Amino acid sequence: MSNVTGKSHPELAADFNKDEPRVDWHDETLWWVRAKRDIAAHKLPEWELLRETASQIKHNVLSNLYTYLQQFEANAQKNGVVVHWAADAAEHNQIVHKLLSDKGINRMVKSKSMLTEECHLNEYLKEHGIDVIDSDLGERIVQLAGEPPSHIVLPCIHKKKEEIGDIFHEHLGSAKGESDPKILTETARQHLREVFLTRRAALTGVNFAVAETGEFVICTNEGNADMGAHLAEIHIASMGFEKIIPERKHLGVFLRLLTRSATGQPITTYSSHFKKPQEGREIHIVIVDNGRSIQLGREDFRNSLKCIRCGACMNTCPVYRKSGGHSYHTAIAGPIGSILAPNLDMKKYADLPFASTLCGSCSNVCPVKINIHEQLYAWRQVIVKEGYSPASKTAAMKAMAFTLSSPVLYRSAGKMGRVVFKYAPFAVNNKLNPWYKHREMPKAPEQSFGEWYSKRKEGQN
């Protein structure tokens, strides 16, 4: 489900911050997940070697993408799988719709797929009279709530169990006020069992597609992808073309990294391999570009296509933890989403690369060593050069650059600033200055650092 508020990241973050206890709880929960990731990583002495190996494998894939994609297509077809190519989201949605229409199917079960969120597939199919049920528990909760996922691995991390109880009471008939996670999970299980047994079509995402064998792998903790795909007449798998890996043996690297980085688990509960359709069934793979070719051609940003969607950068990001996933108003939130989204629409997502402290924690935890914070900084420069930054910010940055380029102006501005801070702080700290919304006014220093240093030097002499 797309976010159609039209608000920017700062505006949406301000909305999220109105509920301070929720912000604290969201922050602490994600940091707890980040701490679990650290424990899991530190148990493997070869952790950094795994990261480097994964990064190099992905580098090789991006450099030879054409070859690997053709190899995958040929081997998948040999296995009896039908391969489709989609240049953009619209073509992807049309392909899925046609596959369903040709079989007279108007109800489908879907496991978690951020690509279909990126393509707004649910909305498209609904407009064409096809009912889609998300079977991942977190995604089903936000679907019932009428919201998009706020996290790529933990879609409803922003909701408390009491809120989930209210949603289940309204839509699934559970007891009013029920918030026991075991009872709520059982309610969802009974609801989804009927869905799995009655849907003739299932759509899944793809975590890894192996060029060597033409098989693909889906990782879930609930087994919902298996339930949907194995019971349906037709299994449709949607994948971005960057999900290719060269050989099956490389799965040993990525599967060890993926869930340790995502949730601190040693391995995903279900790592399901799909190679050929069962007798009388069909498997279709839709390989999607949707702007990835453009990103591949951007030298500063092509490494973002190494992403394996673990969400580790979100869990560690202080801005994400404090502003919530919906504040990013794009399918993939957080630091990695702030790199990917401007490639799709630079004007619409010009605010996102600025939603970062550039502390580098995201790059430090990335299992495939994407230089996330450096790419965010690079995007800022591109956005300003292309004229997509707010006029006020552009003017302020030019004034700052002019001041910093002149020692006389710099010293004069520093003295003036100290006077204003000391005698008229309201001139800076007021409602018109968003910088001070969540910051305290510092005490005005008596002297500049340069003045302090000169005096100290004189004292030593």
User: Which residue has 């194995």 as its token pair?
Assistant: 230
Lowest mean pLDDT among 1-5, 216-220, 438-442: 1-5
Looking at residue 461, its pLDDT comes to 65
How far is 389 from 354, CA to CA, in rounded Å? 10
- What is the per-residue pLDDT across 258-310, written as a single tens digit (0 to 9) for each? 999 999 999 999 999 999 999 999 999 999 999 999 999 999 999 999 999 99
Looking at residue 445, its pLDDT comes to 84
How far is 346 from 387, CA to CA, in rounded Å? 10
Looking at residue 437, its pLDDT comes to 73
**Are β-strands 270-274 and 216-220 bridged in parallel, bridged antiparallel, or unpaired?**
antiparallel
Q: What is the DSSP letter of 445?
A: P
**Are β-strands 131-134 and 216-220 bridged in parallel, bridged antiparallel, or unpaired?**
unpaired
pLDDT tops 90 at residue 431: no
pLDDT tops 70 at residue 327: yes
The mean pLDDT value for 93-119 works out to 96
Looking at residue 390, its pLDDT comes to 85
The mean pLDDT value for 394-402 works out to 88
pTM assigned to the model: 0.89
Looking at residue 371, its pLDDT comes to 97
128, 122, 177: which is closest to 149 by C-alpha? 122
pLDDT, averaged across the chain: 93
Looking at residue 422, its pLDDT comes to 85
Beta bridge partners of 110: 134, 203
pLDDT tops 70 at residue 1: no
The mean pLDDT value for 406-425 works out to 89
* Residue 346, token pair as written in the block: 């630079």
More confident residue, 289 or 460: 289
* Residue 177, token pair as written in the block: 């006020």
Q: How many residues does the chain have?
A: 461
Q: What percent of the chain has pLDDT over 70?
A: 98
- What is the per-residue pLDDT across 81-99, written as a single tens digit (0 to 9) for each? 999 999 999 999 999 999 9
Q: What is the DSSP string of 266-298?
A: SS-SEEEEE-SPPTT-EEEEEEE-TTHHHHHH-
**With bands split at pLDDT 50, 70 and 90, how would you rate the model's confidence at 5?**
low
C-alpha distance from residue 398 to each of 218, 263, 297 (Å): 49, 43, 30
Residue 46: partners with Cβ closer than 8 Å, 6 or more residues away: none
- What is the per-residue pLDDT across 188-205, written as a single tens digit (0 to 9) for each? 999 999 999 999 999 999
Looking at residue 4, its pLDDT comes to 56
Judge whether 152 and 311 are in contact, CB under 8 Å.
yes
